Amino acid sequence: MGKSYSIPILPLPFEVESKEVLRQVNKANRALAELKGMATTIPNEAILISTLTLQEARDSSAVENIVTTQDDLYKAEIGIEEQLKTAAAKEVLKYREALRRGFELVRKDALLTNSRIKDIQMHLEGNRAGFRSQAGTTLKNNRQEIVYTPPQNRDEIERHMANLEAFINNPDMSEVDPLIKMAIIHHQFESIHPFYDGNGRTGRIINVLYLVINGLLDLPILYLSRYITQNKSQYYFLIQAIRDKEGDNSAEWEEWILFILKGVEETAQDTIRLVQGIAKLMQEYKQILRPAFGKNYKHELLNNLFYHPYTKIGFMQRDLMFDRRTVTKYLNKIVDLGLLTKTKIGRENYYINDALFKLFLTYPKHSDSTAPIESVTE
């Protein structure tokens, strides 16, 4: 059944803010603060939410070996070739919807309750099964060996999740830095493994929402999924090392916390570069569009080109509230300016922002192909 692990009651019963952890948390906080400021250079928050949540949806799903191409994903999101939409693309889009739903909920009152976590998981998996109530769930590696058996009893799961909920929402329970708490929360949630399916992806959504409810970010734009995918073997090793260590596992907790903090720092720096790239592109497009359109130029025209690498006449009609003939004329003019590529798919013309597409393709690539730890219910 896998080694037994006694899930701790939070807060952890030992000091977690070692000198090395404090040094790394300072680096991570500085990078995060810079990202928070950089995000304000994009005047329309919907652009960042739209573009970055789609990237996160793809990367988080890749952790679970649900892989889709950028192009398939973009086409699936806006309904191109609906009948050809891949199963992987559908899963990725469900993740994006769950992430958006979570942000919509927590931005109201900065609370991430168990009912909201269930809501997020429901959007991911498309069912209302809630917390596990039947025994038999185990975590297996790619050799089908049981590496961990999470709590099997519904009452035990509820008890641990109530403690986690309090730890997430009550700052008086622990005075440690929120980024350290985020690392602890992530490990605790994955060890409780409260759902039949979707625990990994739900846990990664909790990460970014925790940053938002603590004011470290205004928007959900810092995603660790790419970092986790790039370091997948280390990620699973460090999670399991805490569970496997008998007796004092404070050193294993420190290694895990440092891993997550380094991930926050690196990911914030990568995201800063990506946001800078989007801002630079938008400025370049604006400098061409404004004189070309003169008094007909509108901010909505520019914004529409950056919500998504693909746009079409209907999208621009919605945003600019112009008639179809005018919008078609505008889009064809932008193609002539060299800012979009026009392509016909099925019966409809689509307009591709190749520069934005290329920017996402050059964003750091995945590298670690380690198989995920699978949740199995027998």
The dihedral over CA atoms of 314, 350, 90, 198, expressed in degrees to the nearest 10, equals: -80
Query: Using 50, 70 and 90 to split pLDDT, how confident is the model at 69?
Result: low
Pair (279, 336) in one structural domain: yes
Compute the chain's Rg from CA coordinates. Answer: 22
* Higher local confidence (pLDDT), 262 or 75: 262
The CATH number of residue 258's host domain is 1.10.3290.10
Q: How many domains does the chain have?
A: 2
Pair (152, 77) in one structural domain: yes
The CATH number of residue 351's host domain is 1.10.10.10
What mean pLDDT comes out for the span 85-96?
A: 75
The mean predicted confidence, pLDDT, of the chain is 89
**DSSP assignment letter at 136:** -
Task: Return d(Cα 19, Cα 141) in angstroms, integer.
Answer: 34
| Torsion over CA: 377, 181, 60, 82 (sign) | positive
Q: Does residue 372 lie in a domain region? A: no
Which tens digits make up the pLDDT trace of 143-188? 899 999 999 999 999 999 999 999 999 999 999 999 999 999 999 9
Tell me the residue range of the domain where 280 lies. 275-360
* Residue-wise burial string across 329-366, b where 16 or more C-beta atoms lie within 10 A, e elsewhere: ebbeebeeeebbeeeeeeeeebbbbebbbebbeebeeb
pLDDT for 361 equals 80
pLDDT for 79 equals 61
- Give strand pairing partners of 146: 140
Q: Does residue 376 lie in a domain region? A: no
- Residue in 152, 177, 123 with CA at minimum distance from that of residue 5: 152
Pair (109, 199) in one structural domain: yes
- Give strand pairing partners of 374: 140
* Higher local confidence (pLDDT), 355 or 63: 355
Is the pLDDT score of 74 beyond 70? no
* Higher local confidence (pLDDT), 161 or 81: 161
Pair (266, 196) in one structural domain: yes
Preceding omega of 178 cis (within 30 degrees of 0): no
Boundary of a domain, candidates 217, 240, 272: 272
Structure tokens at 75: 């086409």
Pair (248, 302) in one structural domain: no
pLDDT for 353 equals 94
Task: Return d(Cα 228, Cα 367) in angstroms, integer.
Answer: 10
Pair (106, 186) in one structural domain: yes
Under 8 Å between Cβ of 205 and 219 = no
What mean pLDDT comes out for the span 338-356?
A: 91
pLDDT for 146 equals 93
* Higher local confidence (pLDDT), 80 or 34: 34
Pair (243, 112) in one structural domain: yes
What global pTM score does this model have?
0.90
| Torsion over CA: 8, 9, 13, 16 (sign) | positive
Is the pLDDT score of 95 beyond 80? yes
